[in-house]
């Protein structure tokens, strides 16, 4: 199985970034949980309706314009065998803030979580409420490799 190109760069730079976070926050390395989080959309998304017609005419092609989706916010800590997740109707900064609070409940008392995310807009928004003491944001997986 081939690795993606940026994968090894992330693995090389992550321990150094982890050391920086532990020193900046004055944390014990044994009390750190590394969490990975992402969001998935499930639901209905309609296709374009096509209809045959005589050349030069424009037959109507009515179709169902309704869509219904839900978003699964999930996070795991593989080392501790823990997870946290929510199913929400929208995907925005407020939903991400709820997800962070859910993760903070799963973090062991006295422990500190390092959360790895991708660069989705609701993950890196300045509007994101980062008032959860137990969760520290590492850079996204892409920026860790830079």
Range with the largest mean pLDDT of 22-26, 106-110, 138-142: 106-110
130 part of a folded domain: yes
Structural domain boundaries, residue 139 = 24-43+66-144
Number of domains making up the chain: 1
85 part of a folded domain: yes
Q: Flag whether pLDDT at 127 surpasses 70.
A: no
Of residues 15 and 70, the one with the higher pLDDT is 70
- The span from the CA of 146 to the CA of 134, in Å, is 26
113 part of a folded domain: yes
CA 23, 27, 31, 35 dihedral sign is: negative
55 part of a folded domain: no
99: nearest Cα among 87, 112, 82: 87
9 part of a folded domain: no
79 part of a folded domain: yes
104 part of a folded domain: yes
- For residue 76, the surrounding DSSP H or E stretch is strand 68-77
Q: In sequence order, what are the residues at sequence separation of 6 or more whose Cβ sits closer than 8 angstroms to the Cβ of residue 24?
A: none
Token representation of residue 117 = 């995310």
What is the predicted pLDDT for the residue at 124?
64
- The span from the CA of 116 to the CA of 17, in Å, is 12
- The span from the CA of 54 to the CA of 43, in Å, is 35
Q: How confident is the model at residue 84 (pLDDT cuts 50, 70, 90)?
A: very high
CATH classification of the domain holding 84: 3.30.420.10
Confidence (pTM): 0.68
Token representation of residue 84 = 């946290």
50 part of a folded domain: no
Lowest mean per-residue pLDDT among 4-13, 15-24, 73-82? 4-13
Q: Running DSSP on this structure, what letter comes out for residue 39?
A: E
What is the predicted pLDDT for the residue at 74?
95
């Amino acid at each position: 199985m081939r690795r993606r190109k940026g994968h090894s760069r992330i693995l090389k730079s992550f321990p150094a970034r982890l050391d920086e976070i532990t020193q900046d926050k004055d944390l014990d390395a044994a009390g750190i949980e590394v969490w990975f989080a992402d969001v998935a959309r499930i639901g209905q998304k309609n296709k374009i309706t096509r209809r045959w017609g005589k050349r030069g005419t424009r037959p109507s092609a009515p179709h169902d314009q309704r869509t219904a989706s839900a978003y699964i916010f999930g996070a795991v800590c593989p080392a501790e065998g823990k997870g946290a997740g929510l199913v929400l109707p929208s995907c925005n900064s407020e939903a991400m803030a709820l997800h962070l609070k859910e993760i903070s409940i799963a973090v062991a008392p006295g422990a500190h979580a390092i959360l790895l995310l991708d660069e989705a807009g609701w993950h890196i928004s300045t509007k994101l409420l980062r008032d959860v003491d137990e969760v520290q944001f590492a850079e996204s997986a892409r920026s860790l490799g830079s």
